[in-house]
Amino acid sequence: MKEVKLDNTDRSLLNLLQANFPLSREPFADLGLSLGLEEEDVIRRITRLKEARIIRYIGPLFDSRSLGYQSTLVAMRVSEDRLEEAAQIVNEHPGVSHNYGRAGALNLWFTLTVPPGDDLESELQTLANKVGPEQVLDLPAVRHFEIGVFFDMADNDLPVNFHNNPPKTPQGALQAVSTLSSSEKAVISEIQQDITLLSRPFDAMAEHVGMEVNEFLRCCRWLKERGVMRRFGASIRHQNAGFAANAMVCWRVPSSVVEEAGEIMSAFREVSHYYERKANQSWPYNVFTMIHGKTKEGLKRTIEIIAARSGIQEYEALFTIKEFKKERVKFRA
């Protein structure tokens, strides 16, 4: 695919699309006001960025637990000659959103999510029986200190002040199940799609569920304020956006300093997630971070600096070898 050259406006637009997409009647016109562009130019640029496979999609990210879903991180050890086959079996499960081949003995890592009423442990066992791994680990989250995936594309001054401090998700316990009204459920079911690049993209969604568009958008904003919707924005293919390297780094952190270490680690812009997970006897690491960089060498240096500043020296850096699947789970509200 031909490489697309990004100008400063493209980069600023990508930052806005990730961090500050407006849930408004005419979002592309509002983005244009922030950038000094006409609405048509904003839509044209987004279209080009999607065609260049830099933007995956623009849409909502929901908190699965608030909707009554259960999820876990799964690690498997599969022989290298069966890795592709095993990954394909895993990908076929509708509850798998992310699936990666990573360097290390445990070489297949994926998230598994199941709807209310389903037994997560049984679902994992059924999937493991199909895959036939040499080893499988179930690593559920205990707490999340999620910062939010944000790839800073611009070196110039941005029209909003998230350049050095992109929005962070509040730290704390996992989200409780939320009580949802029938209209909120309808909005959640409808809005889980890649937004259309039209002047008023929410009008058709609102009409489809029998709501006035302003009511539909108020409901979206309220879901976001409550944390049911974590964010609404663009998902970026980081490999195509100049961030070619990433690794899941697993740390062995004493329970008494998990929060203190989190404050230090999350101060790094390269860190997109910080999760405390249930440690396993054969995998003694209890803190999991996702760290991104433009080069593998730069990423290694970042990990070393994080280890030095946090004082956590026991860790495993699992570099991504291949992305087998990355998409959002379709939730039934």
Which residues are annotated as catalytic? 98
Q: Using CB atoms within 10 A of its CB, is residue 325 exposed (0-12), middle (13-18) or buried (19+)?
A: middle
Find where tokens 């609405």 sit: 39
Compute φ and ψ for 61, nearest 5 degrees: -120, 115
Q: ∠ CA 124-175-218 to the nearest 5 degrees?
A: 120
Tokens standing for 71? 């999820």
Packing angle of the helix pair 27-35, 201-208 (nearest 10 deg): 160
Alpha-carbon separation of residue 314 from 51, 76, 173, 308 (angstroms): 42, 21, 25, 11
- CA dist., res. 281 & res. 329, Å (int): 30
Quick check: 113 and 97 in contact, CB under 8 A?
A: yes
- CA dist., res. 224 & res. 230, Å (int): 6
168-200 b/e (C-beta count within 10 Å ≥ 16 → b): eeeeeebbeebebeeebebbbebbbeebeeeee
- CA dist., res. 321 & res. 290, Å (int): 14
Tokens standing for 238? 């980081």
- CA dist., res. 129 & res. 67, Å (int): 28
- As a 3-state breakdown, the chain gives helix, strand, coil percent values, each rounded to 5, of 35, 25, 40
Tokens standing for 200? 């008023």
- CA dist., res. 235 & res. 238, Å (int): 9
